[in-house]
Amino acid sequence: MKEFIINNPLDMHLHLRDNDMLKLVAPLSAKTFAGALIMPNLVPPITSKEALLSYKQRIKEASNDNNFETFMTLFFKSDYTFDFLKDIKDDIIGIKLYPAGITTNSEDGVSSMDIEFLRPNLQIMSDLNIPLCVHGETNGFVMDREKEFMPTYEALAKSFPKLKIIMEHITTKEAVLLLDKYDNLYASVTLHHLLITLDDLAGDSLKPHLFCKPIAKRPRDKKALLKAALKAHPKLMFGSDSAPHPKHKKESCGCAAGVFTSPIALQVLTQLFEKHKCLDNLNTFVSLNAQKIYNIKINNKYIKLIKKDFKVPNIYEYKNENVVPMYANETLLWSIKE
């Protein structure tokens, strides 16, 4: 096959940051994706309607008129009222819950995952049909943090059977198995977790641009994630978790967590699905599943990929901001036709 068309590709977990970094990275997603679910963990986090609408406008201005739909999320707080959530419901696609301090800019996250502590807001969300997006990790041993969070997902699914719960950027075999256990559990998965394990990050030498949270796991986990993605499991969707940090914050002591994949995501996914003879499932995985899960309709962009080498830039820059992409300086087999 020499060309492949993806209809309305969606990135259902995207970090765009703000200010000059936003102006650097937003056009890279807006150029090749029809839309994206935008994460709210800015500093300060998005917790009000005013902040949400202002951020959405800044994204629109930074996207360079690329016909890019932004699906906004609110940063979870335990004291949101029914009236507030009812008023903001039509402006958001979900609310993102972070355990406090678990990842970048999550210091204002929830201090307790106790169901009774969370119940008032989760019940309101269930009543208003607002999905809950969750960064599912404990503060345990780094390789076991997601696995240890599985009982919490199960407790949430049982306690709020009408609440749609998205397990964000899943990394383990255990999370994949949960998809078939509860009707109201869904998940997103990243590009990098379909491709790498802990060995790729730190097996021979430390590769800071592959360091992320949740951390890449074991071969058995990657195998389970890849199998589910390649068959376009109906409860699994693509969410890049593309998370830009300046080069000096990645290549330093205290390396920032995040893999930047926006400019190469569709090319690498096409290469990956072609390798496994599953290209017929790619559009479902990267578009249709998300539309069904979130009950959205989008029809504004067709992306044509061609079998032509693409040399990944070693860095992307704008003014004083810069970010190094995954596969920097490497050559991919597919390119996006301009």
Q: Is 20 a catalytic residue?
A: no
CA–CA gap between residue 117 and residue 237 (Å, rounded):
29
Placement of tokens 């090319």 in the chain: 267
CB burial readout 135-157, b (16+ within 10 A) else e: bbbbeeeebebbbebbebbeebb
Angle at 146 between CA 296 and CA 179, to 5 degrees: 45
The DSSP annotation for 158-207 comes to HH-TTS-EEETT--SHHHHHHTTT-TTEEEEE-SHHHH--HHHHHTSS--
* Token couple for 107: 């210091």
At 262, give phi and psi (nearest 5°): -50, -45
Closest by CA to 93, choosing from 260, 291, 300, is 291
User: Which of these is catalytic: 180, 221, 241, 309?
Assistant: 241
Q: What is the Cα–Cα distance from 223 to 124, expressed in whole angstroms?
A: 37
Residue where the block lists tokens 């049982």 = 158
- Rounded CA-CA distance 172/54 in Å is 36
Active site residues: 241
